[in-house]
Structure 1
Amino acid sequence: MEQFMKELEEQEKAMENIRNKLALLPDLPGCYLMKNKDGTIIYVGKAKILKNRVRSYFTGSHNGKTQMLVSEIRDFEYIVTGSNMEALILENNLIKQHMPRYNVLLKDDKTYPYIKITNEAHPKLEVTRRVLKDKAKYFGPYPNAYAAQQTKKLLDRMYPLRKCNVMPKEVCLYYHIGQCMAPCVKEIPQSSYEEITHEITRFLSGGHEDIKKDLQRKMEAAAEELNFERAKELRDQIISIDAIMEKQKITTSDAKNRDVFGFAVDKGWMCVQILYMRQGKMIERHRSVFPFYGDPYSDFMSYVTQYYSDNPALPQEILLPAPDSEEDEDGPQLLQEWLGVKVRLPQRGLKKQMVSMAIDNAKVALDEKFRLIERNEERTSIAAENLGKIIGISSAHRIEAFDNSNIQGTNPVSAMVVFIDGKPAKKEYRKYKIRTVKGPDDYETMREVIRRRYERVLKENLEMPDLIVVDGGKGQISAAVDVLENELGLFIPVCGLVKDEKHKTAQLMVGDPPEPVSLPRDSQEFYLLQRIQDEVHRFAITFHREQRGKSMIASQLDAIPGVGEKRRKMLLKHFGSIKKIKEASVEDFRPLSIGEKLATQIIAALQDEES
């Protein structure tokens, strides 16, 4: 109760501070940074008028997701900018710098792939995710690596540019099958490369039909000359072009390269759909689905801004849906000024139709997501219910699972995961450093962890599990049951999951004494147990690696005379890792007030240990 009152008092102080700051907000453009009780930035936004936008978070009603964000805000900062354009760029940079949890983030863990014609004496084709200022030609972005690789594979067959990274001393197989001009042994005129580069550029810029007609003529000529092998090769190339282009849905009368965006929102989730139009033809599409917490159109524009900051190969035109409020009206115009590309909000005609198509696809993608979630939740919930019946308990609503991890007894740890109605409840996961067990004793480790967990459950009156799952067989089950019943007076069903020689879930053991339970391998119940065992193992092994890594770093540096705990922390903070300390020069240690003699000893000791 005392803790609750203290938190309430702190919250009231924070809100008073926010009210005072709100009164001082200027009528100017800028960015605002929302912070939680720990001072962590949880949301970054931009505003045409800071006073209006920031105050809107603390007045009126909000949807569930926005309310979740607002409930965590304990402070905010703002940065005034000279223009809306500066605010757009600053917002993008702040999001990348702080990665706030409530912002829309491009989490595709990649930049998009491009096809590149290198700027070399003997150029070649590459698929790359980095666009450099190296005078090479870049085409893309492609929605995925597979699309880019398939297109490159086709071009490699059609055009005889070199395929090797390092020039060999003699001709390779590609020369003999007509897919390389062998610059390793022949003098290739620059005009030949220019002609091939022009053809590839024409193809990748959307001139597929012209290329197909050329190939058709060559195929017919080869057939007339009875060169049927060459004719078949050309025919296969034509078929490959058709296969790559078969996804085209829309064509326009002009030949502009366009990116068409649409988005849809539902139940706190947003789907952004991008249609790629090249040379007037729709060649591909890409979608992203993610949770959002702010204003829908504002968060959509944040996504588009991040997308183009990571993809410098721009189209000639960008089509966007129109904003639905005055506050967001300047977003598309700012994007146009920043990128130097025409940004349109079509109201009628074919372009409006294209934006509508992107929006419709986004709606369908969201609907599919929710239907899949509902289906999986229903199946998972039924599996949890059936598992309870199989084990002989009335309910398996809450399952707590344990796993131990150590290597020959070093850095022993254990972990617990919680599944509620068959779904992981990650906020309730717990990690344990083993305190009392020396050496690799799995049974005693299990006893310690079960004791610590359920002593706390009793002390703090936490929710009891319906079922406890341990990683192992009779020994682990008996150890857990002994602590629960004889030490704590708890009678909670315990089952064990036994693995096979491939370390996969093989058998469920239940009862006292434990006996194997027959469970079909293709059942949803078996699949649920497998997911529980995989999840607790993953969680335990990740924790063990963290502890082992810290231990190894500490032991490596602590073993060096003259390096104590304080100096060890200082070295790691300055260099970032053991590897970088090894690679450092004596001069690099001077800012830490470490002399030449000790610096030499540190480098030598770490390098000796590695060898």
Structure 2
Amino acid sequence: MSETNLDLQVKTLPDSPGVYQFYDKDDKLLYVGKAKNLKRRVSSYFQKTHDHGKTRVLVKKIRSLRHVVVPTETDALLLENNLIKKYQPRYNVMLKDDKTYPWICIKNERFPRIFQTRRVIRDGSEYFGPYTSVKTIRTLLDLIKGLYSIRTCNYDLSAEKVSSGKYRVCLEYHLGNCLGPCENLQSEAAYNRQIEEIRKIIKGDFKDSLGHFRKLMNSYASEMRFEDAQKIKEKIEVLENYQVKSTVVNPKISNVDVFSIISDEGFAYVNFLQLSYGAIIRAHTVEIKKKLDESDRELLELAITDMRRKFHSNSPEIYTPFPVEVGEGIKVTVPKLGDKKRIVELSERNAKLYRQEKFKQIRITDPDRHTKRIMEQMKKDLRLPFEPRHIECFDNSNIQGTNPVAACVVFRDGKPAKKEYRHFNIKTVEGPDDYASMEEVVHRRYSRMLEEDLDLPQLIVIDGGKGQLNSALKSLERLGLRGRIAIIGIAKRLEEIYYPDDPVPMYLDKRSETLKIVQHLRNEAHRFGITFHRKKRAKAAIDSELERIDGVGSKTVAQLLTKFKSVKRVREASLESLTAVVGPSKASKIYKAFH
């Protein structure tokens, strides 16, 4: 990849946490890094001189980059660790074992223990993490220890050994930290209820635990056991103040491929995440050009087969956002909630960001393609018979009926054409009548365009609801233009799009580019109209203040403002200064009026 394209990739990176990967001319991975802000971090490699020799050599070798977006900086740290272990890039510190980060383990045994470990053993035990901070784990384990009576010994508490009386309670029992399951003083069912609540706390779900403790506190209070109730209240406060942050990595999700797709009129973008032992080890996104208006399902099935072959994946299970057919022997899961659903959403987010970056790059390198895509999307979204290359938008401005004006703004290829903006003074309407004012300006605008044989717009946007739209429509009908020009109205409150002869408005996706362009049109028309209205009001206020003076007309006002620039300076001028401009008779009248 050329340096120009590399620069383009850097410019269009998102301002999100994630992991970046640098590749050389042979597409060999050179370096993996994490970032709180991908764009800022990656840009720093190319914007300064590096003191370290190896860094300078690395930057010279970079020819392309890839990245993966994750929800948090912590997740970026975990993903970076996994990728370094998997690919061992030349310029990274090597991580040769799996003991880098700690986990919380709920041991697969009778009366399960809960403890911190760096070894993940596949013996049926549950592992939560990995955590980037040992302090976080210790805080969480201390919280659990304070809330529940969980054993800390490593005895084999099988039913036979406990029944035989092999064990005796230890100091933890006498301190009240353990309820003595080793002597059958606590039932297995009661112990497991605690484990279930602890499992939910580790995952961040405090609802059941809080409910249990509140019920217990009320029970103690009703029995007049106020000291016990106070202890439970303290536990509730600790639990409410503790917040646990979950990660995208879940050790239960093992040997799985995740696929998602985002598409538009001409292209589809498919993201692939490969998970091994609960960690993301590969991420890749591809762009697919549509040929025959293929469905998302068809394209995703094609991409899944191709990418699994390309990356030699033999994972027996895949996660997708909707059902697909990819052959026998592969289990297809469409997650509905939980960690599996979140990992699919992460894949979709990466596909969306990849699409946005492509759009940014195209806007820079191929503006014609970008414009055509936008126009095709607007044509589809607004149900138009042709692309709206030329759009005009109208807005009325008046305050309490004074100085009524209107504005017309023009967009070409989705961008403002400011030289073609036009102002209108309302001539035939008395008082604040928005409907009649709209009818007047639309008629004046297009009757003139017809007289001068100018190109008409493909779309007219009216700032307002059904009333303003119908008023504009009357003018188009009188001019014989109804049917030749598409016309819509946009209401401010909920951004409803109104069509002629359709009482039900249309609502566009709030994130759609079409709605953003229509909003830009509306906002420009409002800004342009308000600016003109303010100037007109200011001029009217100035003119009226001076013209109220007996013997002062518009010609005299013009002379005074040319000389003194403002009414304030005229008011402060001496009699001699005024006489020099308008003569002694008028100067005397003006001076007396202000003094």
Q: TM-score, normalised by structure 1?
A: 0.36
Q: TM-score, normalised by structure 2?
A: 0.37
Mark the structure with the bigger radius of gyration. 2
